[in-house]
Amino acid sequence: MDPFTSEVRHIWNVDNYRLLWDTSAYHSIAFRTIGIAAAVTLADAILAFPLGYFMARIAGGRSRAFVFVAVLLPLWSSYLIRVYIWRLILNHDGVLNWTLQKVGLPAANIGYTNWAVWLIFTYIWLPFMVLPVYGALERVPDSFLEASRDLGAGGWTTFRRVVLPLALPGVIAGSIFTFSLTLGDYITPLLAGGASSQFIGNVVYDSIGTQQTPFAAAFAAVPLVVMGVYLLIARRLGAFEAL
């Protein structure tokens, strides 16, 4: 940036990356973003796996179709609206505290914290995990499970040694979505997070229209690199076939 004209000068150097490397505030923002993205992915996997299993192997045709639409539809209702409704729920005079009070529990004031950001991301991206997990589980042939049982494996062993390895590409495929989408978001932290919920995206967002844009571009390279590495690992694990 030119200090006199305050116009952005185009000079090829690594100053922006050096600033990123040297400032600890940016480190904690990067780690928070990546950490919450990982926590969201984990929570979604835990919520989605039994549901995917239910859809693939337990539900009959009609209830499967019903659950499928029930999972898919929220995905299409407006993203902003879904963030907004959670703000109303988590507010101190919202549904959550009212319900807790009715059953005699202390109020949970998690509105505008990192917990709220984590919960809302988990909610919003959940369908992205359910669909590929269901797809992967549906492709596990019944005969594999029968073979496993014939060979003397118990339910748990069959699950651990047969179902889980076959379903893993589906989980990884889902995690690409949940992880990448959380990594690149700034709306939820902005609307539902607190003062210490800044994401990489928020720094970029704040820089628009200022002279900080080149630095913001450097910061945006962080999720880009993280996703690049993540995709390479995912391809190794065979997740692309499960997409």
* Rounded Cα distance, 163 and 70, in Å: 25
- How many of the chain's residues bind other proteins (CB under 8 A)? 76
Quote the CA–CA distance of 17 and 55 in Å, as a whole number: 47
Alpha helices, DSSP H, located in the chain: 15-22, 24-53, 61-76, 79-90, 95-102, 114-138, 142-150, 155-158, 164-183, 187-192, 200-207, 213-236
The reply to whether 95 sits near other proteins by the rule CB under 8 A is: yes
191 scored as a contact of other proteins (CB under 8 A)? yes
Q: How far is the CB of 3 from other proteins (least distance, A)?
A: 20
Tell whether residue 128 is a contact of other proteins (CB under 8 A). Answer: yes
Rule CB under 8 A: say whether 85 interacts with other proteins. yes
Sign of CA dihedral 103, 106, 42, 198: positive
Rg (CA), the chain: 22
Residues 42-81 that bind other proteins (CB under 8 A): 47-48, 50-51, 53-55, 57-59, 67, 69-81
118: contact with other proteins by CB under 8 A:
no
Instruction: Pick from 94, 153, 162, 206 the residue near other proteins by CB under 8 A.
Output: 94
Shortest Cβ 174–other proteins spacing (Å): 8
**Does residue 38 bind other proteins (CB under 8 A)?**
no
Chain residues 135-154 in contact with other proteins, contact rule CB under 8 A: 135, 142, 145-146, 149
The rounded Cα 54 to chain-centroid distance in angstroms is 22
Residues 212 and 6: their CA atoms lie apart, in Å, by: 10
Contact call for residue 17 and other proteins (CB under 8 A): no
Q: Is the Cβ of residue 24 or residue 78 nearer to other proteins in the bound state?
A: 78
